[in-house]
Amino acid sequence: MADSSFDIVSELNLQEVDNAINQAQKEIATRYDFKGSAAGVEFDRKGKTLTLTADGESQLDAVKTVIIGKFVKRGVEPKCMDDQKIEQATHKTVRQVVKLKDGMDKDTAKEIQKQIKELKLKVQASIQGDTLRVSGAKKDDLQAVIAHLRANPPELPLQYKNFR
């Protein structure tokens, strides 16, 4: 009997991110507590970055909360947000760049691979680019790996694809 396998990936659906940002921009434009302020968000699709602007740090947190809420509603994992340093901008405003993590780097893949080996199940995990393929004879072992990774998630969002 052939081995069963699945792929662990970390992908970002840019269309859903775009939709979530558009909804957040509409909410920021109409909310009373943001009226007349510099609060806003811009999305750079090519660079995969968000630029948040606000009058102060507390307002910046409120903008980020709106974005996270829209991300959750659209099915985008908020863990993909990598906050950078808050910096001063013009006219006494603050700006923060948020990088969106897309893809799994080698270090994270090796860390997940190590976690899978520590489970002592009869499965093999191999790194293939930015994908981690897990294969084994028993589907129950593969489901145990998925259950373990869902219970102990790494720092970036994971999706499980091509389960065969």
Q: pTM for the complete prediction? A: 0.83
Please give the structure tokens belonging to residue 146: 């998925």
Better-scored residue on pLDDT, 1 or 123? 123
pLDDT tens digits for 60-110?
Answer: 999 999 999 999 999 999 988 888 898 988 888 899 999 998 888 888 899
Question: Any idea which residue has 């792929």 for tokens?
Answer: 7
Q: Sign of the CA dihedral 22, 89, 78, 15? A: positive
> Topology of domain 4-11+103-161, per CATH?
Alpha-Beta Plaits (3.30.70)
| Sequence ranges of the domains in the chain | 4-11+103-161, 14-100
CATH number of 14-100: 3.30.70.990
Do domains 4-11+103-161 and 14-100 share one topology? The answer is yes
What mean pLDDT, rounded, does the chain reach? 90
